[in-house]
A and B are shown apart, each in its own frame.
Chain A
Amino acid sequence: MALQVRWLIPIGAGAASIAHVACATQYMSVAQAQRAAFPDASAFVVTTPTLDAATLESIDAPAGWMPQVWQARNGDKLLGWLMVDRVIGKSELITYALALDSGGAVIALDVLDYRESHGGEIRLSAWRRQFEGKTATDPVKLNHDIKNISGATLSCRHVTQGVHRLLLLYDHVLRAG
């Protein structure tokens, strides 16, 4: 895994919130998700995992897959990871953020953008809280350890698959790095 400090611009807590123009389908910005999951972080360091073909295969990810990953740090201390990825619900992309603690357990799942006409119930905190504490050793599978929302099955299934893939990314790549 290559860790790259691309830039470290002190944006400041207030300034970060204006980095995103609010729109009707955006429920949370990346910056808001970062601060909500890691209120004690002093920096979020952009991380680019090395994802060769063998690694992608090992985590059941397609060629070209590359989520956005940040290390949450407080000085030299690693607090955890924040990953942003997208999946399709029924026909539109859903952008979500997954926060893991330094041991790879889910702190929070947040839906950043939702564009479908139906199925937006995955934004419900009661549904998203099911993922808290999950690790790569859990099934993280719909209708097993993650319950479905009637009428939003496709969104539920695809976000659940996406979270499972990110947990495998942590387990196979980030943890070793």
Chain B
Amino acid sequence: MLRVPLTLAVAACLALASPATRADEASLKAEVDALRAEVAALKSEVEQMHAQQVAPAPRVVETPPQAPATVATGNESTPAPASASASTGSAFGNTSLWGYGQLDYNRPTARPGDARADLTRAVIGFNHQFNETTRVYGELEWEHAIASAEDAGESEVEQLYIEHALGPQLGVRAGLMLVPIGLVNEHHEPTNFYGVERNFVETAIIPSTWREGGFAAYGSTDSGFNWNLGLTTGSDLGKWDPTSDEGRLSPLGSIHQELQLANAHDPSVFAGLNWQGVPGLNIGAAVVTGKIGQATSRQTGGDANFPANDSRLVLGEVHSRWQTGPFDFAALYTRGEISDTRDLNLSFLGQPTPVPKAFWGGYVQGAWRALEWNESRLMPFVRYERFNTGAEYASQPQGLGTPALPTQRVWTVGANYYLNPNVVFKIDYQDFGYDDALLNYGNRFDLGIGFEF
């Protein structure tokens, strides 16, 4: 009995559903027609574009630069992290880190008891990009492993400056910056120089790492020139210690201030010019000058009788480096003069270290890529240096004058072995023209490890 109503119900439902199905079919047909029209329109557009592709006018199909494609860290290229900033390109957003380290072992052949091993430098650097044109750049350094009141180590801020690009080839800096002089001062990482220690000329005469606080402008030209001009703090002759050997070891190294509560009455200026218009060749010169008396006689707590307020430093330098094939040649000459030292030296009478009127140095160096396999290479080198930290002293009354120091001569023969371009092991032997234990002059054997990242 129940089957009759069920059949009727099904029939009723089918009767009701039939008009709805017809309506769906009509809707579907309309939709298909619309799609047909759309496809036709797209087809027409594509045909139009194909026609344009063969048109004579040049056209550019361009996608904006996408996520960083390649990052070379050290010597190897690795993919950039997903977090890399497209605007600055930094591997850590807007901030990037770098660093280097140097460990040395020195063994004087005549005084083996003075053999010494040292973690000479550990350095962390950073670069933070505020925007496309402005950044802060810093270098923090620890010397001799431990820095404390009881230890010989130092903790230093070696560079800290703001850099602002004014254009593609023009920029300005403000802060604590390296003086752009010589071949080592601005490029002092151990992978960048031959030998365990930096050369004598660019430590005794040019006090690498030489930095001053102030302002600078820099720029370059398409013809290969780049230039630097700066107005900075200067050295302080008031800090000269005639009882110490430091002034004979490095006259400027003993009075540069490194922006440590620097006496800043007298500014200095620097100017540097390099030409690199031929690949592999660099020819350059630089000069630094300024009064270095720093008004010592007028300083609170200063020496009221200081006689060298108007003393002026002029340091000039010329250099060249030529890297061609397996060879790497370099030469540099520098000379400094300090004026108005006569009365100051008279006040130092009887002390071992008067202020020199002139000091100079120069070297020639040749290196050769003797062996190379994969990333490794062996670079033997030889360097010949002459320098004098007291080449001339201001004339004094008869019998009170200071004789010039003997000119030192150093031959350095050794090799840099680069495990890869960022890690170097060094060995060398240094032969001195004369010994002076106080100044650490004396034939010696050196070993070193250096790295940079």
Contact = CB atoms under 8 A, between A and B. Distances in A.
Interface stretch (B2-10, B16-24, B165-173): B165-173
B62 A31 contact: yes
Interface string A79-113: 00000111110111111000000000000000001
Contacts of B165: 24-25
Main secondary structure of the interface of B (DSSP, over half): loop
A7 to B, nearest CB: 7
B323 A11 contact: no
Contacts of B96: 91-92
Contact of A91 (B97, B168, B222): B97
Contacts of B11: none
B68 A39 contact: no
A172 interface: no
B133 A93 contact: no
A170 interface: no
B29 interface: no
Interface in B96-117: 96-98
B90 A92 contact: yes
Contact of B79 (A12, A63, A76): A63
A41 B60 CA distance: 9
A147 B79 contact: no
Interface in A125-177: 125-127, 130, 143-144, 146-151, 153, 157-158, 161-162, 165
A70 B98 CA distance: 34
B72 A66 contact: no
Q: How large is the interface on B (under 10, 10 to 19, 20 to 34, 35 or more residues)?
A: 35 or more
B77 A62 contact: yes
Contacts of B78: 62
B282 A149 contact: yes
A35 B279 contact: no
B323 A147 contact: yes
A40 B282 CA distance: 37
Contacts of A161: 72, 75, 77
Nearest to B66: A68
B127 A92 contact: yes
Nearest to A165: B77
B149 interface: no
Interface in A8-33: 8-13, 16, 19, 23-27, 30-31
A115 B258 CA distance: 27
Nearest to A21: B132
A59 to B, nearest CB: 11
Contact of A93 (B68, B125, B277, B282): B68
B58 interface: yes
B323 A150 contact: yes
Interface string B255-295: 00000000000000000001011111010000000000000
A127 B127 contact: no
A28 to B, nearest CB: 9
B91 A88 contact: yes
A64 B187 CA distance: 33
B222 A125 contact: yes
B53 interface: yes
A63 B61 CA distance: 27
Contacts of A41: 58
B369 interface: yes
Contacts of B63: 6, 46, 68
A94 to B, nearest CB: 8
A65 B59 CA distance: 28
Given A34-B62, A62-B77, A68-B63, A92 B88 contact: yes
A143 B88 contact: no
Instruction: With a 10 A CB-CB cut-off, give which of A10, A85, A146 has the most chain B CB atoms.
Output: A10
Interface string B287-326: 0000000000000000000000000000000000101111
A149 B284 CA distance: 13
A37 interface: no
B79 A65 contact: yes
A43 B53 contact: yes
B323 A124 contact: no
B186 A88 contact: no
Contacts of B167: 24
B71 interface: yes
Given A8-B53, A68-B65, A150 B71 contact: no
A117 B192 contact: no
B69 interface: yes
8 contacts: A11-B60, A61-B70, A75-B54, A117-B135, A124-B224, A143-B326, A146-B279, A158-B77
Given A27-B168, A45-B61, A151-B274, 11 more contacts: A6-B63, A11-B59, A31-B60, A41-B58, A44-B61, A91-B90, A91-B96, A93-B84, A124-B277, A150-B183, A150-B321
Closest 8 CB pairs of A and B: A93-B89, A147-B280, A64-B79, A24-B165, A147-B279, A91-B96, A150-B282, A158-B72
